[in-house]
């Protein structure tokens, strides 16, 4: 079973940087598990910025949904991020909240069965503005429920605020 550290917080709160620093403490050769699906040019530039933050010590694995098909046993892995990973399930399940949540939980459970040091980055959407449309509200619910699911399993949970990690579990 994975040893899980969950790092959550708002956009631009320093989640990814903190996750990378933690991983580098645990391993000389950490793995960056990227879940992004490139939707447009703006998003592609964000991905390039994240790539530039990592040096040659890092191994990058790109996987949009099927995390469990990769063997990370004995490794330190930064999963960045749950929000993008969930977006892929939500989109591919035609925005059906319950189907996307169930599929994500099944995949997550298979993934964390591996013996690894897992550092998970996720967004805390519930602290922001109430979404204006039904699809956005459904996604905020999906994100919140998945964050709760992961946090229950996590050994340690941090909330990032303005670049400062606040340890809230562990």
> Could you list the active site residues?
50
Which tokens in the block code for residue 81? 């991020």
Query: How many Å separate Cα 105 from the centre of its chain?
Result: 13
User: Closest by alpha carbon to 146, among 79, 73, 74, 70?
Assistant: 79
State phi, psi for 10 to the nearest 5 degrees: -80, 175
DSSP at 53: T
Non-local (6+) Cβ contacts of 49 within 8 A are: none
Query: How many Å separate Cα 72 from the centre of its chain?
Result: 16
């Amino acid at each position: 079973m994975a040893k899980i550290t969950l790092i959550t917080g708002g956009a631009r709160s320093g989640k990814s940087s903190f996750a990378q620093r933690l991983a580098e403490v645990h391993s000389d050769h950490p793995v960056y598990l990227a879940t992004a699906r490139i939707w447009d040019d703006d998003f592609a530039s964000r991905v390039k910025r994240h790539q530039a933050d990592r040096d040659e010590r890092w191994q990058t694995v790109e996987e949009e949904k099927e995390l469990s098909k990769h063997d990370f046993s004995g490794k330190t892995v930064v999963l960045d991020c749950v929000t993008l990973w969930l977006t892929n399930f939500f989109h591919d399940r035609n925005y059906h909240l319950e189907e996307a949540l169930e599929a994500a939980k099944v995949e997550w459970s298979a993934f964390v069965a591996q013996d690894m040091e897992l550092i998970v980055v996720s967004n805390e959407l519930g602290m922001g503005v109430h979404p204006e449309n039904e699809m956005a509200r459904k996604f905020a619910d999906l994100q919140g429920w998945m964050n709760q699911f992961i946090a229950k399993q996590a050994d340690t949970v941090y909330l990032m605020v303005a670049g400062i990690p606040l340890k809230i579990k562990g």
